[in-house]
């Protein structure tokens, strides 16, 4: 019963994600129009055959911009998760495994970062490094470290007491070997869901930062930026919100379904 | 007792760390409050004089030390933009954010609890699937956009509330709360999916335990078992989740306050950063961080009380 | 125990429902209030208005406020010896008249009799001298937060006098001739030694201060003692502070704001059915300002190429639906006779010419540069996006860098660490104020512009005491800026204002103010 549901989740999830990925990959090589090309005569046009998702307030083709924007958003999401997951996992593993004073100090720093308002940190990065997607990635990546560290740490605390770890230790395996070869593989399931949640949160956080104009720089498109630009046009040109909004929902929903269905896959 | 002292010390260390990051951030970002105050065409001499009077010309560590000394006594100084004490500024803003976060958490719980029960009752039934799908779709909408949609539907089309209106808490508490309802929905709805799922999993695990079967064999009705035994036990792990929820609600309110025009801590923070109003920013950051840390601490404590197993670690 | 728990949940649900009911209840109240307001509109007098603004006030003390968004609000509470009218002429306010000596060295202001501060006290010569000295930095103990205009360095003394016809007045003596200083005597007159100006401001304007709540609103009421009979019409004006234009737009759609300015063209389009949209000028010089010390902008041909490569009409069309006034130099039409309108068409859109000039300058394949734009002004951000697209066509790659306003001031404006930037420059009503930044030694010459001919002419223009000569000299100065391409001048942007259909009398000024004293319910 549960298996069947997971299968369905997996199928729907993979289809949604594949669809989004396909659009992104096609977008790298081909877009119907130049995503940044403006056309005075084609401002705020409703969806039609020549512009499938309509045009925005500067006469730019929304479909092309969504394709480009989705790439930016995916890039930001994936890069953020890579930073957060790598550093967070290592921190979590070390602190969880060894415990003691290092654990205490790192976890307090962890708490401090976690309780720090994200926009302030984002602002600092943007001000020091200038604006653009790389700084969004850096800011979000650092913000995401604590949650990964916490998850992995608690998993390590449980795992290190288990028999297989004790026996490996008795057999003379080094700490590093135990951490990376014995325990890490067992945190795979939890890491996978942390990564999908992290990716989704990164996509949503990018949108939030765009709303506070701390996100990706214009004229570059990102789904969050397009969505936040569309708010004024909800009455006159609602399609401006439709395509980027749908794309975000498809991506985030796809990944969370995939995550739930992942258990079936294994 | 030793435990509490240890916790208190870590709390202080964390707050120190947070205050240092805030302070350091203000060293690095361009522009200071003198620039923000005197505007474009101020002369170097004017800037120097104002910085002198604000104490901004002193070396960095002298200023940090002075800031810490005052902060410990609870004095965060005066807002350079508003010319009022930071304390009074915060005492007006904090209730807005606090109530917004509290209502949001309340909504999260009030919505997720029945949903979680419904879903757990008949796992994989139509209702379960439908609700899961719905809540997960909502989770995929950025909170600021949800806020805009809510304003559009309930504020402009249905006219259930007046967009941008705000009633101060001192004036009319009921009115104040009523204008927090919709923003609180915008904060809480994206989190409902997560909480529902967590509850459901927790309930299902409880249901699979032997005592449930025993109770059933004794002839107790399913409903009774659910409410009397299972729910109580299933809620315990949810407590750990609570600290995170409140932190999320606080963070979410920063953006949502912009959308709904609420004069809370979030909007104050954004404005203060733009005006390089260091005293306000540092106080706001310390308050928010402090609240999150203290709540996490209370959660830890309650968890230990409720579930003695945790005490071992 | 169990019962208690159940009660708890019941309580939760109840509190939710109460909250919802309370919410719908208050909506009804609002409706009643509106009806009351409708009934009271039989005469021109009375009624209250809510004006939406998006920038919080930087100070309530008029001598400390520097943000244009604050001055526009405080204009209703404070007045100077003179004040601008809607044509840009300076008319006596707290003064009953003014006289500038022929050598341009002495300004005399007899005081208007019977002008009262909002606290009931009569305005005395002492108050006026105190106010002028405070704003010109001549008080013995100066407050570093008071912003002193650099032009006041020419003020020698401020003294009380009795005019020939026996009136009380003040006389301002200068150490060098300047007949343009009059527009600076709009500085607010405030009570002497009043220390609560920053929290409870007291002035002489048509409205008096009631309350201010940071991030929420500033409320002012009719000043019944105002010296112009019958003015103002409104009983109460609230300037409501919104987090941003988008949040304000939602309130406009809901009809809770009566007046809101600086809408984007698209926003105004979507409000047409609910509001009267009035169009005026922003009175700004919007341009692509270039750092002359940053290569390749030190090359005249490159600068000229930019002028030919940028289609200003298209910027207006895309960003503002075609409204706005194209300008060709660093001045806008609000300056009347001083403004040289012929320069607007000096450069025409011509990509071939642009490419040719780039070729001659040694950049046949174009070049790369960064445009720094303050992120809080959507119009500038949109303009930047259009320019980036247009420059692509001649092979120039421009990149946009958004910065916060405070960063812009310190990095771009004061640090001069940038390549190009798009902003709008505003000005006092005096023509020297708007062009003086191009003098090579000017402190606010953030363009690093240096041209000896300009410097000499400027000195001549500023010192001239003959108005006709002045007009001619300022025209020449503008022409130099255009021919030498000090920067790429784009437009004086249109100011689109949504005004409640029941209101009338909204006026545009050639300076950045929102005057509520002329607004009334029809």
pLDDT at position C481 is: 94
| Mean pLDDT score, C59-69 | 87
pLDDT at position A262 is: 67
For C30, counting Cβ atoms within 10 Å of its Cβ (0-12 exposed, 13-18 middle, 19+ buried), the class is: middle
* Boundaries of every domain in chain B: 86-310
Chain A residue nearest residue C265, CA to CA: A57
The CA distance from C309 to C451, in Å, is 24
Query: In a 3-state reduction of DSSP, which class is residue C430?
Result: coil
The CA distance from A247 to A218, in Å, is 19
Q: Is the pLDDT of residue C437 over 70?
A: yes
Taking CA C300 as the corner, what is the angle to CA C299 and CA C305, rounded to the nearest 5 degrees?
100
CB-based contact, C388 to chain A, within 8 Å: yes
The CA distance from B74 to B279, in Å, is 12
Residues of A in contact with C401 (CB under 8 A): 130-132, 217
Residues of A in contact with C270 (CB under 8 A): 232-233, 235-236
Taking CA C395 as the corner, what is the angle to CA C393 and CA C399, rounded to the nearest 5 degrees?
95
The CA distance from C189 to C187, in Å, is 7
Confidence of residue B261 (pLDDT cuts 50, 70, 90): confident
Q: Is the pLDDT of residue C115 over 50?
A: yes
Measured in degrees and rounded to the nearest 5, phi and psi for residue C261 equal -105, 175
Q: Name the nearest CA neighbour of A62 among A50, A75, A51, A77.
A: A51
pLDDT at position A126 is: 67
C411/B167 Cβ within 8 A: no
> Do the beta carbons of residue B191 and residue B245 sit within 8 Å?
yes
Q: Is the pLDDT of residue C152 over 90?
A: no
pLDDT at position C34 is: 41
The CA distance from A107 to A153, in Å, is 10
CB-based contact, B42 to chain C, within 8 Å: yes
Q: Distance from first CA to last CA of chain A, Å, rounded?
A: 16
pLDDT at position C237 is: 95
A59/C318 Cβ within 8 A: yes
Q: Is the pLDDT of residue A156 over 50?
A: yes
pLDDT at position A58 is: 83
> Do the beta carbons of residue C175 and residue C47 sit within 8 Å?
no
Q: Which two tokens stand for residue C232?
A: 């103002």
Confidence of residue C28 (pLDDT cuts 50, 70, 90): very low
What own/partner pairs with CB < 8 Å and gap ≥ 24 does B69-75 have? Answer: B71/B19, B71/B282, B71/B283, B71/B286
The CA distance from B7 to C125, in Å, is 65
pLDDT at position B302 is: 75
Work out the number of other CB atoms within 10 angstroms of the CB of residue B162: 18
Share of chain A above pLDDT 70, in %: 91
pLDDT at position C43 is: 63
The CA distance from A142 to B108, in Å, is 27
Share of chain B above pLDDT 90, in %: 1
At which residue do the structure tokens 């009030």 appear? B110
How does DSSP assign C234-264, residue by residue?
-SEEEEEEPSSHHHHHHHHHHT--SEEEEE-
Residues of B in contact with C253 (CB under 8 A): 156, 163
pLDDT at position C409 is: 85
Residues of C in contact with A132 (CB under 8 A): 401
pLDDT at position B311 is: 47
> Do the beta carbons of residue C146 and residue C175 sit within 8 Å?
no
Q: How far is C483 from chain A (nearest CA, A)?
A: 29
Highest mean pLDDT (candidates A167-171, B76-80, C474-478): C474-478
Chains touching chain C, criterion 3+ CB pairs below 8 Å: A, B
Query: Could you report the per-residue pLDDT of B168-201, keeping only the tens digit for each?
Result: 888 888 888 888 899 999 888 888 888 888 888 8
Q: Is the pLDDT of residue A255 over 80?
A: yes
| Mean pLDDT score, C413-431 | 89
| Residue among A104, A116, A124 whose CB faces B29 most closely | A124
pLDDT at position A120 is: 64
| Mean pLDDT score, C298-315 | 94
C216/B156 Cβ within 8 A: no
Confidence of residue C204 (pLDDT cuts 50, 70, 90): very high
> Do the beta carbons of residue C290 and residue C303 sit within 8 Å?
yes
pLDDT at position B306 is: 67
Query: Could you report the per-residue pLDDT of B128-172, keeping only the tens digit for each?
Result: 878 878 888 888 888 888 888 888 888 888 888 888 778 888 888
B167/C26 Cβ within 8 A: yes
Taking CA B300 as the corner, what is the angle to CA B297 and CA B302, rounded to the nearest 5 degrees?
110
The CA distance from C181 to A217, in Å, is 43
Structure-model confidence comparison of residues A85 and C163, the more confident one: A85
For chain C positions 238-277, those within 8 Å of chain B (CB to CB) are: 240, 242-244, 246-248, 250-251, 253-254, 256-257
Q: Is the pLDDT of residue C5 over 60?
A: no
> Do the beta carbons of residue C509 and residue C28 sit within 8 Å?
no
CB-based contact, A123 to chain B, within 8 Å: yes
Residue C111 DSSP code: B
pLDDT at position C12 is: 45
| Mean pLDDT score, C208-212 | 94
B167/C407 Cβ within 8 A: no
Q: Which two tokens stand for residue C382?
A: 């949109």
| Mean pLDDT score, C10-14 | 45
Query: Could you report the per-residue pLDDT of B208-249, keeping only the tens digit for each?
Result: 777 777 777 777 777 777 766 777 777 777 776 777 777 778
Task: Give me the CATH code for the B86-310 domain, please.
Answer: 1.10.3720.10
| Residue among C26, C56, C250 whose CB faces B164 most closely | C250
Query: Could you report the per-residue pLDDT of B272-312, keeping only the tens digit for each?
Result: 888 888 888 888 888 887 887 788 778 777 776 766 555 44
Chain A residue nearest residue C391, CA to CA: A37
The CA distance from A41 to C127, in Å, is 59
| Mean pLDDT score, C285-293 | 94
Q: How far is B216 from chain C (nearest CA, A)?
A: 20
Q: Name the nearest CA neighbour of B146 among B244, B256, B246.
A: B256
CB-based contact, B125 to chain C, within 8 Å: no
Query: In a 3-state reduction of DSSP, which class is residue C21?
Result: helix
Confidence of residue B64 (pLDDT cuts 50, 70, 90): confident
Alpha-carbon dihedral angle through residues A118, A122, A123, A124, given to the nearest 10 degrees:
110
Q: Which two tokens stand for residue C19?
A: 């909250």
pLDDT at position B307 is: 61
The CA distance from B187 to B104, in Å, is 6
User: Residue B60 to residues B26, B63, C84: CA-CA distances in angstroms?
Assistant: 11, 5, 45
Residues of A in contact with B151 (CB under 8 A): none
Residues of C in contact with B181 (CB under 8 A): 19-20, 23
The CA distance from C384 to C400, in Å, is 7
Confidence of residue A116 (pLDDT cuts 50, 70, 90): low
Element containing residue A62 per DSSP (H, E)? helix A62-98
Q: Which two tokens stand for residue B249?
A: 């609600």
Residues of A in contact with C385 (CB under 8 A): 36, 38, 58, 218-219
Residues, chain A = 266
Q: Which two tokens stand for residue A103?
A: 């654990």
The CA distance from C109 to C102, in Å, is 15
Separation of CA A15 from chain center:
18
CB-based contact, A13 to chain B, within 8 Å: no
Chain A residue nearest residue C380, CA to CA: A218
pLDDT at position C207 is: 95
Query: In a 3-state reduction of DSSP, which class is residue A61?
Result: strand
Q: Which two tokens stand for residue B209?
A: 């335990």
> Do the beta carbons of residue C504 and residue C64 sit within 8 Å?
no
> Do the beta carbons of residue C396 and residue C366 sit within 8 Å?
yes
Q: Which two tokens stand for residue C162?
A: 């009795």
| Residue among A40, A57, A123 whose CB faces C314 most closely | A40
Q: At what angle do helices A188-211 and A118-129 cross, to 10 degrees?
A: 70
Structure-model confidence comparison of residues C314 and B34, the more confident one: C314
Residue C273 DSSP code: T
ipTM, two decimals, is 0.81
For chain C positions 436-455, those within 8 Å of chain B (CB to CB) are: 443-444
Half-sphere exposure of B75 (CA within 13 A, CB side): 7
> Do the beta carbons of residue C152 and residue C136 sit within 8 Å?
yes
* pTM metric for this prediction: 0.84
C247/B259 Cβ within 8 A: yes
B144/A207 Cβ within 8 A: yes
Chain B residue nearest residue A105, CA to CA: B10
Q: Is the pLDDT of residue B251 over 80?
A: no
Residues of C in contact with B142 (CB under 8 A): none
The CA distance from C346 to B205, in Å, is 79
Sign of the alpha-carbon torsion through C72, C76, C77, C79: positive
The CA distance from B307 to B103, in Å, is 27
Q: Is the pLDDT of residue C41 over 50?
A: no
Q: How far is B302 from chain A (nearest CA, A)?
A: 18
Q: Name the nearest CA neighbour of B3 among B306, B300, B308.
A: B300
How does DSSP assign chain B, residue by residue?
-HHHHHHHHHHHHHHHHHHHHHHHHHHHSS--HHHHHH-TT--HHHHHHHHHHHTTTS-HHHHHHHHHHHHHTT---B-TTT-SBHHHHHHHHHHHHHHHHHHHHHHHHHHHHHHHHHHHHTTTSHHHHHHHHHHHHHHTS-HHHHHHHHIIIIIIIS-SS-TT----TTT-HHHHHHHHHHHHHHHHHHHHHHHHHHHHHHHHHHHTSHHHHHHHHTT--HHHHIIIIIHHHHHHHHHHHHHHHHHHHHHHHHHHHHHHT--SHHHHHHHHHHTT-HHHHHHHHHHHHHHHHHHHHHHHHHHHHH-GGGGG-
């Amino acid at each position: 019963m549960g298996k069947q549901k997971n299968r369905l989740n997996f199928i729907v999830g993979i289809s949604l994600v594949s669809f989004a990925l396909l659009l992104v990959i096609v977008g790298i090589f081909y877009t119907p129009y130049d995503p940044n090309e403006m056309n005075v005569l084609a401002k705020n046009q409703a969806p039609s055959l020549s512009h499938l998702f309509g045009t925005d307030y500067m006469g730019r083709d929304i479909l092309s911009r969504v394709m480009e924007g989705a790439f930016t958003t995916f890039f930001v999401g994936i890069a953020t998760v890579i930073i957060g997951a790598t550093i967070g996992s290592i921190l979590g593993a070390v602190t969880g495994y060894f415990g003691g004073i290092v654990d205490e100090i790192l976890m307090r720093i962890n708490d401090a970062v976690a309780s720090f308002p994200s926009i302030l940190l984002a602002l600092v990065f943007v001000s020091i490094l200038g604006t653009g997607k790389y700084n969004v990635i850096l800011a979000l990546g650092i913000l995401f470290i604590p949650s990964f560290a916490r998850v992995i740490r608690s998993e390590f605390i449980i795992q290190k007491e288990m028999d297989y770890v004790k026996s490996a230790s008795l057999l003379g395996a080094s700490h590093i070997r135990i951490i990376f070869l014995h325990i890490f593989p067992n945190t795979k399931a939890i890491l996978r869901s942390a990564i999908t949640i992290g990716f989704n949160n990164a996509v949503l956080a990018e949108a939030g930062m765009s709303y506070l104009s701390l996100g990706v720089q214009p004229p570059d498109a990102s789904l969050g930026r397009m969505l936040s630009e569309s708010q004024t046009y909800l009455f006159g040109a609602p399609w401006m919100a439709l395509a980027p909004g749908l794309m975000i929902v498809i991506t985030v929903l796809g990944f969370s379904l995939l995550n739930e269905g992942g258990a079936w896959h294994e | 007792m030793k435990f509490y002292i240890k916790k208190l010390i870590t709390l202080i260390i964390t707050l120190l760390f947070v205050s240092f990051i805030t302070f350091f951030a203000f060293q690095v970002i361009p522009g200071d409050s003198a620039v923000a105050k005197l505007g474009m065409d101020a002369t170097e001499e004017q800037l120097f004089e104002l910085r002198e009077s604000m104490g901004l010309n002193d070396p960095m560590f002298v200023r940090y030390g002075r800031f810490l000394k005052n902060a410990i006594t609870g004095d965060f100084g005066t807002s350079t933009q508003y010319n009022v004490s930071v304390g009074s500024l915060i005492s007006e803003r904090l209730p807005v954010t606090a109530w917004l976060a509290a209502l949001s958490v309340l909504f999260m719980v009030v919505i997720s609890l029945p949903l979680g029960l419904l879903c757990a009752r008949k796992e994989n039934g139509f209702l379960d699937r439908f609700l899961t799908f719905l809540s997960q779709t909502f989770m995929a909408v950025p909170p600021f956009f949800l806020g805009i949609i809510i304003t559009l539907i309930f504020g402009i089309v249905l006219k259930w509330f007046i967009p941008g209106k705000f009633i101060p808490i001192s004036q009319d508490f009921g009115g104040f709360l009523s204008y927090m309802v919709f923003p609180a929905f915008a904060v809480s709805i994206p989190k409902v999916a997560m909480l529902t799922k967590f509850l459901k999993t927790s309930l299902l695990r409880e249901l699979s335990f032997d005592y449930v079967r025993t109770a059933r064999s004794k002839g107790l009705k399913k409903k009774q078992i659910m409410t009397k035994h299972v729910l109580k036990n299933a809620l315990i792990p949810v407590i750990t989740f609570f600290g995170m929820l409140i932190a999320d609600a606080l963070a979410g309110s920063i953006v949502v306050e912009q959308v709904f025009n609420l004069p809370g801590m979030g909007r104050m923070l954004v404005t203060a950063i733009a005006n390089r109003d260091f005293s306000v920013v540092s106080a706001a950051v310390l308050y928010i961080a402090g609240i999150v840390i203290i709540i996490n601490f209370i959660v830890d404590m309650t968890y230990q009380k409720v579930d003695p197993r945790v005490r071992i670690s | 125990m169990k019962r208690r728990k159940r009660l708890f949940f019941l309580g939760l649900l109840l509190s939710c429902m109460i909250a919802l009911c309370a919410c719908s209840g208050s909506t009804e109240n609002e409706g009643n209030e509106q009806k009351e307001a409708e009934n009271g509109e039989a005469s021109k007098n009375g009624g209250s208005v809510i004006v939406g603004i998006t920038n919080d006030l930087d100070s309530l003390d008029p001598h400390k406020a520097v943000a244009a968004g604050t001055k526009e609000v405080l204009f209703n509470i404070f007045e100077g010896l003179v004040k601008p009218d809607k044509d840009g002429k300076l008319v006596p306010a707290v003064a009953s008249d003014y006289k500038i000596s022929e050598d341009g060295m002495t300004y005399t202001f007899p005081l208007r009799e019977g002008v009262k501060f909002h606290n009931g006290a009569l305005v005395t010569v002492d108050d006026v001298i105190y106010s002028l000295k405070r704003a010109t930095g001549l008080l013995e103990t100066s407050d570093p937060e008071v912003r002193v205009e650099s032009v006041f360095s020419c003020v020698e003394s401020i003294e009380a006098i009795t005019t020939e016809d026996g009136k009380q007045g003040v006389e301002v003596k200068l150490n060098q001739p300047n007949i343009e200083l009059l527009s600076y005597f709009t500085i607010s007159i405030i009570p002497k030694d009043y220390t609560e100006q920053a929290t409870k401001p007291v002035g002489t304007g048509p409205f008096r201060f009631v309350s201010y709540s940071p991030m929420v609103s500033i409320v002012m009421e009719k000043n019944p003692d105002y010296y112009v009979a019958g003015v103002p019409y409104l009983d109460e004006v609230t300037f409501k502070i919104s987090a941003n234009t988008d949040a304000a737009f939602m309130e406009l759609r809901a009809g809770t704001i009566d007046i809101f300015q600086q809408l984007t063209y698209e926003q105004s389009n979507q409000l047409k059915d609910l509001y009267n949209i009035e169009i005026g000028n922003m009175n700004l010089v919007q341009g692509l300002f270039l750092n002359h010390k940053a290569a390749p902008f030190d090359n005249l041909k490159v600068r000229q190429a930019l002028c030919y490569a940028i289609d200003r009409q298209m910027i207006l069309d895309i960003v503002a639906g075609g409204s706005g006034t194209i300008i060709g130099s660093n001045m806008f039409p609000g300056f009347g006779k001083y403004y040289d309108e012929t320069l607007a068409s000096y450069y025409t859109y011509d990509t071939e010419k642009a490419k040719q000039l780039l070729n001659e300058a040694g950049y046949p394949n174009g070049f790369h540069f960064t445009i720094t734009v303050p992120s809080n002004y959507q119009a500038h951000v949109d303009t930047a996006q259009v320019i980036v697209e247009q420059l692509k066509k001649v092979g120039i790659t421009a990149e946009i860098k958004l910065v916060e306003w405070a960063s812009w001031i310190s990095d771009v404006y004061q640090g001069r660490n940038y390549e190009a930037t798009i902003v709008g420059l505003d000005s006092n009503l005096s023509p020297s104020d708007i062009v003086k930044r191009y003098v090579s030694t000017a402190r606010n010459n953030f363009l690093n512009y240096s041209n000896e001919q300009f410097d000499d002419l400027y000195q001549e223009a500023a010192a001239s005491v003959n108005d006709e000569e002045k007009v001619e000299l300022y025209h020449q100065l503008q022409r130099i800026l255009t021919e030498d391409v000090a920067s790429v001048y784009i437009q004086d942007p249109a100011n689109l204002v949504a005004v409640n259909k029941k209101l009338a009398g909204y006026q545009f000024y050639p300076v950045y103010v929102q005057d509520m004293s002329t607004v009334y319910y029809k």
